């Protein structure tokens, strides 16, 4: 089976009812991202940060995988599919995809505030005073702005192995994630599905539709390469 590497962003989950994290007013669900999604925000007001992510977790758990998520799961019948996602939701998992790397963390996991080496599942609200077995405060297992992206090296290795590379629902402006496309081998076909195709130097097959609208077209094009 050919290795199909799929890089997904916020546009993938938008049609499941989850807002893209940058709205036109610079707010995320009414919050200033600098007040809820940075290490300094956590240091200044951890209760507000936990409130924000508790709300995001509820939204994610209420959302359901859409046609595009299910299409990627179905492609596992024909390809060795590896998903790399910027999304913190678990919609790929609930759709049935079996190989998923989360670049920016996972909303249904938490870790202590000093280390990301061990995570714990969380499907309810987090609170100040929730601690690990060593008595250290727990925080969302999310990569915040101004933090390193621990999984980027692994993601780069996966992209380099791709026989086919697909981008769905991302504007390719958030780094270092946006740089992944630069590690695709020159002869590897690249497909981009997005309602607004981002500027890309490489030669691509562009499908200028939303993830759901373009999913069947993308699937047909990919199956021609299996």
By annotation, the residues acting in catalysis are 104
The residue among 77, 92, 30, 82 whose CA lies nearest residue 56 is 30
SS3 197: coil
**Do 121 and 90 touch, CB atoms closer than 8 A?**
no
Q: How far is CA 123 from the centre of its chain?
A: 18
Strand pairing class (138-142; 120-121): unpaired
CB 207 within 8 A of CB 52: no
- Give the burial string for 37-66 (b: 16+ CB within 10 Å, else e): bbeebbeeebeebbbbbbebbebbeebebb
């Amino acid at each position: 089976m050919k290795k199909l590497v799929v890089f997904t962003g916020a546009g993938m989950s938008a049609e499941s009812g989850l807002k893209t994290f940058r709205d036109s007013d610079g707010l995320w669900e009414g919050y200033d991202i600098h007040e809820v999604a940075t290490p300094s925000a956590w240091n200044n007001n951890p209760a507000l940060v936990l409130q924000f992510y508790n709300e995001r977790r509820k939204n994610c758990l209420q959302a359901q995988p859409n046609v595009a998520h299910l299409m990627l799961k179905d492609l596992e019948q024909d390809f060795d599919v590896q998903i790399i996602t910027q999304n913190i939701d678990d919609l790929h998992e609930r759709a049935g995809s079996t190989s998923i790397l989360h670049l920016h963390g996972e909303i249904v996991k938490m870790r202590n505030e000093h280390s990301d080496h061990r995570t714990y599942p969380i499907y309810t609200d987090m609170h100040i005073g929730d601690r690990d077995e060593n008595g250290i405060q727990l925080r969302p297992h999310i990569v915040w702005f101004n933090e390193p992206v621990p999984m980027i090296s692994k993601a780069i290795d996966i992209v380099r192995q791709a026989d086919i590379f697909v981008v769905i629902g991302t504007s390719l402006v958030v780094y270092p994630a946006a740089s992944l496309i630069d590690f695709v081998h020159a002869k590897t076909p690249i497909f981009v599905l997005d309602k607004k195709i981002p500027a890309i130097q490489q030669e691509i097959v562009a499908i200028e539709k939303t993830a759901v609208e373009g999913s069947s077209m993308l699937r047909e094009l990919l199956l021609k390469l299996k």
